Each structure stands twice: as structure tokens, then as C-alpha cells.
Structure 1
């Protein structure tokens, strides 16, 4: 499902809890980015969107101080910590300290080589060959090779494995599509040309960690990986401890001797622990709580723009939302700057009811920003009284209350229907789960590095997470052409078709693209930063 969002309580859904206001938010395997210009070039070299990439590893901080243990606070994972099925921010953070990806996503969402040194498109983007880094071993001494990588993706692509990564590969890569060319080369044969494919096998698809060939579950009991730390202990109610991995492939990293993650039942307890000095950093920070702490005492709050969102979804196949004028009336009734200030502490960027965030290089620039317009609302409704029920789970409560209040000001009645997260994302995903089948709902999606990770599941006809039941053949065709395009001009042309269709039809109202913050003790540690998906990379963290 989508992916984590801000606090962590995720369920297989589009959300998750990894970034911005990520709470049970859709994490589908993507994450937003700040300053995504150059995103496409990173995928294939400076000349285009496909080809070979061999980016340098991030620069080493000046004179890092080795040693020490970083204490981090996080909510307890709601389910088992398993790389294949995890979908919450806490579990993802734990696993990312121990295991590694072919490609990392930097805070500006550049593709950064990890276990893969380079990659290249073949056959017009229908095949992709990845060359593995040599000399990498798992923490138990087992060498990394192409067969191991193939086995990892075969597990992810197995429908019976119930991996949260499957949705990202939908219509792009199917079971049986991964092969070995030689000991250090893995080949992905796609169902269709997809020029952004490297993002789908990167940390942007957070379940795509490379595990041993014989992995069968029980990660916390037998935590073997190629990452910077070793998991020494795990208590589902208390936390986890990690020590430096002496076999880590990157010379000299990490600088820390270890990491300790402590679990806290709620955001306030986590924040109080940071203020008191009980912890040094939050894994998942909430902008509305950390905002007042900026510049106070030892606390530093880092902030990065992102592409996370809360989708205000309207069922276009059922009254009253089968009427496009009704959907537009709701869109014009909302005060977007007010939503940003109230729900996101002003950290976000205004949305315009389409899925091409301004951070995406292909985002259209000529669609007027939709703003609150009570007169237009009245004209669109033509004297009709409008009342509907809005369904959501606890992480979206503040947003739901804000929408209810704003729509009340223009005479639209909203009845709030809060469900538990388990209920909201539960049920039969094909016919009755509330987040996909109620008339109007709020679903948090963690940011994605490329727009296709939103478009394919959310608004394409028959999309796996198409809660609006929207279907538009012109959009479908443009989305397919966008994915296959290898030039920026063609991408922008198709992106404009997609954006204009969504802005006009308004099956999903997007008021704000959320940013992400991370609070930490800036007098004790350096190298800590916010990440658009709330990922943790502690390899460069050192004591001051």
C-alpha cells in the first residue's frame, strides 16, 4: 500500500509513517524529494533519463570523531520487523541500519550507488542491467553475488509473499523477470519500457533490501545484512541496540560505535525524551510539535521539502461525487495555506489537485494555483445542499477537522467517521476495505521519488489503490507514454496532460505536499539530517 508518513503506525496502505506528516501513510515504495531537479539525469548520466550511472559516494565529513552511541527515539513497530512485509517507519529504520539496497536515495532524491556500482538501460528501457559492487560480504561472511540479488527480488515479486513492494512493480516487473548475466551482473526484464526503473529497486521502494538467498523470515532473531550496523538485541516493547559492523563495505564507516533505539508510546513522550537528553534524535518527528523547539537549547530541527501528501479521495462512481461540479466545488472551498499552517506547521508546499509536485522536474508550470473561492463554490453547486461522510484513521484527524471546518464555512456539511487504523486499512482489499471503498476518505501517502509511483496505483484505470474509482483513457495513455519517454520534452508534454486531467476532474484533492523534519541534539552530534521519507542514514553521523 502507500507508505509511511509521519508518526509511524502504518498498515499495508498507501501511507506509512515515514516522512512529513507520515503516520499511517502510504509508502508504496517511494519518497519525496527536495530539489528534485536533476532527478532524471541521475538515472542515466547527465544526458538523459536512461543509460549508465556511476555516482560518487557522499563526501566524508571533515575530521569526524569516532566512537560513541547515538540514542534515537521512535514508536514501537506495530507488526513484525520483516524486510519483506514491513510498512511502518520504525521497522524500516531498524532494518535499514542492518541491511542495504542496490541504490540509496539521498535527501534530494538523487540515486546513490550502494550494493550496485552502476546500472544501464538496454533495449529501449525494457531491460536494465545492474553491476554489483565487488568485495561486499554479509555480516556472517557470505559474499554478495548476483544470485543473491536475484533471490531477493524473486521473493519480493512472489504474490504469495505479500510484500509491500509488489504494488510498486505493478505492470512494470513481474515474477520471473530477474536473471543473472554473470556473478556481478543482474538483469531486470520489464513488462514495458520504464525509464525511471532504477528508482523502483532503490530505497524509494523500501522493501527492496538485499537479503541472503536462504532468508525465510525471523529477521530480528537472525539479523544478517550488508549494512553499517549489527542488530545486537530487539525487544518489541522497549527498543533495539546496534553495534558497528566491522565487515561494512564502505571503508571507515560508520563512525559511531553503535545506535540505541528506544520505543515511546506517543509523540509527546518521544519529544520529552529528546528535550530531557534521554535520546539524541527522533526517527520520526512531527512538524507541528518540533516547530516551537527550533533554536531552543540543544535542539536542532532540520527540514527538507518532500512529496508526501494526504489524499482527499472522492468516489467518482457514486453520488454525490459522480458529478464533476460537486468535486470541483469542494476543491474551491478549501483554504490551502490554512491547511498547511494548521496541519503541517507551514512546512509543506501548496498542492493543486494533481500528482505532479513542483519538485518533480516534469511538473507543469502553467496550471493556475487553485485557491479558495466561495463565489465559485456557490456557482458550481447551483443552490444544491451538499452533505457527505468523510472516513479516516487517527493520523489524519487534524486534517479531517480542518476540512470539516473549512467546508462548513461555505455551507457544506461533513460528517466525520474516524476508524482505528486497523479497521481503516483492514477488510478485503478487493471489495470492502474502508480506505479504498468509502465515499470520501483521507489517506496519507509518503513521498515518492517519481510521479509514476503515485499515478499508477492511485489514478490509472483499475489501479491497485484507486480509491476514487477514476478512469480516464487519455490519462492512462499519457501515463504510459510518460514512463517510456527518454527525453525531458516528451516527459513534460505527457505530464501536462496528466496534471490538467486530474486538476479538472478532481477525483483526488491534494491541498499540500508535506515536507519532513527531524529533531536532534545539535550540540552532541553532527551528520544528522531530515530525509523526505524519514529514512535514517547514520553512516556519516559522528560526535561533536
Structure 2
């Protein structure tokens, strides 16, 4: 049970027994360091990492969402999938599956399970358990947000006790990346359908940490205590999940030395303080331009809109520079992202925007562009800034705000014009961002832009086993789509967080999780 750390580490002499008292190996008098002055400290084992998090609604990984981010973090602590993703190496690595391979047409995959892997209960993780785990997510009526990522699966088979075979209805060379999603962590067949309350409250995990023997999971009030799983290769003895209703309270716990790590709330974006880190997050913010709307069907008008908007000023004034400017829809750092997919077409140039508007509407009659957005504070500010920039070049604009939940229902009914949109890929590949937006059968095809050459390039990428060649194909797709200006790109989010001095090697991945087995606590912070 549990996965291997990214790098082999020598464990120090601190007791490997479970210690539920916070900092049992890291606090107290501590031993004098044997490290020479100025030398990098060596990792030591022991202690309990204290994470201050927003209250997760679920512990079942199949229900984990990126908001609240705590759900993916908890899923990654309690469960392993068949594969995992290593940000440092930018590649998929083994987790419960020790190796895998595909047929020449990338439509049939086999995953060989790691020997000795068990659930927290001690039950062996077999191919039959993996099949049941994936089947519950793809079952009709499943409420799992991870289900669309498995839409191409036609059958999962337990070919042997340790061999899982997955058949697909079309080539998918990125299936190992798809399966690295923490929401696809393997659960026992006894878990029942997605949403079964008993399992959701106190699950039987497959990951590096398990619920402590006396912990009640989500039945408890203000903390969930985890211990190292049997046989797990981790440096920590355990993890204490301190539950908070508000992120501000979680961050305050770190500042008061009551916790070791937390996220930072939006209203504290841009602040500088000790222990603060702003790590790239694999989520994008942009405004879609509905090419099916009669007022936005001409690419020249869409180009006038994007050239009119001072996007860097918006990011600086509204988001205090905490978003990274990006001229595309795939985040920087995701394999297959093009370097500058929109290029000069998206450059801020109000004079060129005015000229385009005048050429398109020489006699006037420029249509009013509706700026659709949810009622979040930042989104209202962005919409107001866009309205000002558009009207400055002669494009009338009208912000239209909706409550968040009704806005989600509104997007996609084809009446939206220029509308707030964003994406968080379900797995670390450009395909996870491009296909939902631009494939004919894409789940989020709200921009109304499908092109035969884009469809062909996406299909070729999914059929290409060589990663580097696939990345080049996907980068080409992003450049092709951005030529048509389907979106006004704004930027890539960051994950702002705080951590204590004693916390070592806690590095957030693009998905906002971290390699918990590699984290350790310094005895001499």
C-alpha cells in the first residue's frame, strides 16, 4: 500500500511507530544537527503534518472537485490510482500499476498491478477491485465529476488477478495521464455506488495515508487524523487535517503556528509574507466568444474585441498580478501547451481595434456586445474593465451578471455572447483543455467553433504513442484554434499558500496537490 517517493531517501532514527501527537518527532528539545553550517539538511522521518483546510464535502475520491481544493488534496492522501503524475519529470509514473502498455491503435490498454498493494483494511487490491472502482464512476447516473474523462471506455476487464484490461471506442494515447487524476483513486468493490454515504464519510483507502484507528472521518467535528498506511514509503508518521469553514481561518492557523500549511483566500491575493508561495495552477481564466452568435460570427470583429482589451492591466488591477498572463487556453507547464499560441493577433492595440470596427461598420450600427459573467466580486470588476476598453474603441458593451449557479446553467444554451469561462484540465495534457472546448463532441463546446483540421489534428494526437510527437501535435491544435479568436485569453491561476518553517519539500503540483510521501518536518526550523 502507498506509493514510492520521488527520490530515494535515507530515513533517520526517529521512531516509525504511529504518533498522533502533533510534531512528536519534530518538536520538543530535538537533537543537535549533524549538518555542517550552510549544508542542505537531510530529510528525517517522523512527526505529523498539520494541514489547515476548508471543510471537504466528500472523502470519496470519485466526488472530489477542484473547488474546494481540499477535496483533491484529501483524495490524493487517502487513495492511489493506477498511475500518478510527476511534475518534476513531466511524465506519468507508476502508482498501483507498476507498468502498462497499449495496442498499436491505442484502443486497448493493459495495466499490471503492483504486488502487495492493499486497502487500509488489509484487503488485497486486485484487478477485480480496480474494475469495480472504475465501473462505479462510469455507471449511468454517476455523480462523479471525473466520469467525462472515462467516456471513451467501453469495457474494463479483470483479465488476471493482477492484470486490468481497458477497451476504448477510439484511440487514446493519453489514457495513463487520464488515470492519474486523484479523483480516480481506487476504492474497494464494497464501497457501493458513487455517493454511498457510509463510504463517503469514512472510506477504506488505497493511498499512502489512512484514517487513524479512532478517527471518524467526516463524522468528526474539527479534525481528521491520518496515519501512515501499512508498508507506505513515507517520511511522515501521519497527517492532521484541521477543518475550517473559511480559508481565512485556515491561513490564520498557520500564522499562529497552529498548523503547517494552508491555502490563502482570494482577498489576500498579492500579499507578501514569510512562508508565502504562489505556485502555478493548471487552471485558466478567459472570456469565450460565441462564434454561433450572429453578432460575433465574423473573426475580424472578434479580433477587434481582443485587441481592444488591456488584459495585462486587468490582471494587475483586479488580481494584483497573481494570475500569469497567457495567450491561449492551455496552462504553461502542461505538456502540449504552445509557447505563444495567439501571438500578435491577441496583442493589445486599440488603434488597430478601432480600424477593424470602422472597416466592418463604416456606416455605424456596431452591435452591442453582452458581457456575461457570474456575480463574483472579481468577475464584476473584470466585466466593468472590459466594458470600458470596448467602448473606448467604439464597441458598445453591456455587462450582464447572474448568480453563480444560474450562470453555470446559462453557459452553453447558445444565447451567451462574450462570457466568462475558464478551465481546469482533468489530467495533465493539453488534450484535456482543447478537446472539451473545440472537439465537435466536446463537453464544453460553448464557443461554437469546430473545424475539420482541428478535429483531424486532435484525433492524430490521441493516436500518437510517442509523447514528444503528441505534444507537438497538440501545440499545433492550440495555435490553429487561436487563429480564429474563440476566446479572449486572460491568464493562468496560481495557488497561493502558506507554510511553516519546519515543513520541508511540500511542493504543490499543477493540480494543486502535493507528493505527501516526500514531505518531512525539520527538527530544527
TM-score band, normalised by the shorter chain?
0.7 to 0.9
Cα distance in 2 for residues equivalent to 1:412 and 1:255: 58
What SS does the corresponding residue of 2:516 show, helix, strand or coil? coil
Which runs of 5 or more residues in structure 1 are unaligned? 1-53
Give 2:133's aligned residue. 152
Give 1:75's aligned residue. 54
The yes-or-no answer on 1:541 pairing with 2:490 is no
- How many residues are paired up? 471
**Residues 9-408 of structure 1 mapped to structure 2, 5 A cutoff:** 57-60=6-9, 63-77=42-56, 79-87=57-65, 88=67, 89-108=69-88, 109-170=90-151, 172-174=152-154, 177-203=155-181, 206-216=182-192, 217-218=196-197, 219-231=199-211, 232-235=215-218, 239-247=222-230, 249-251=231-233, 253-265=234-246, 267-282=247-262, 284-285=263-264, 289=268, 291-294=270-273, 296=274, 300-355=275-330, 357=332, 359-361=334-336, 363=338, 368-369=343-344, 370-382=346-358, 384=366, 386-394=368-376, 397=379, 398-408=381-391
Q: Is the 8 A contact 2:277 2:496 kept in 1?
A: yes
Cα distance in 2 for residues equivalent to 1:150 and 1:345: 46
Change (3 A) 1:518 1:366: closer
1:305-336 deviations in Å (ceiling 9; x for gaps): 34420131122111322232221112112223
Name which structure has the greater RCO, CA cutoff 8 Å, separation 6+.
1
Q: Is the 8 A contact 1:76 1:237 kept in 2?
A: no
TM-score of the superposition, structure 2-length normalised?
Answer: 0.80
What SS does the corresponding residue of 1:60 show, helix, strand or coil? coil
Give 2:478's aligned residue. 499
Which runs of 5 or more residues in structure 2 are unaligned? 11-40
TM-fit CA distance, 1:59: 3.3
Q: Is the 8 A contact 1:83 1:95 kept in 2?
A: yes
Q: Is the 8 A contact 1:100 1:227 kept in 2?
A: yes
Cα RMSD, aligned residues only: 3.0
Cα distance in 1 for residues equivalent to 2:476 and 2:91: 26
Give 1:4's aligned residue. none
TM-score of the superposition, structure 1-length normalised?
Answer: 0.78
Max radius of gyration: which structure? 2
Give 1:470's aligned residue. 449
The yes-or-no answer on 1:421 pairing with 2:404 is yes
Q: Is the 8 A contact 2:128 2:161 kept in 1?
A: yes
Cα distance in 2 for residues equivalent to 1:285 and 1:350: 21
The yes-or-no answer on 1:529 pairing with 2:478 is no
Q: Is the 8 A contact 2:311 2:348 kept in 1?
A: yes
Change (3 A) 1:395 1:262: farther
Cα distance in 2 for residues equivalent to 1:199 and 1:212: 22
TM-fit CA distance, 1:373: 0.4
1:488-519 deviations in Å (ceiling 9; x for gaps): 67546644552333222122222223333432
Cα distance in 2 for residues equivalent to 1:178 and 1:393: 42
Q: Is the 8 A contact 1:302 1:530 kept in 2?
A: no
TM-fit CA distance, 1:152: 0.9
Given candidates 441, 459, 464, the residue that maps to 1:485 is 464
Q: Which moved more, 1:441-450 or 1:154-163?
A: 441-450
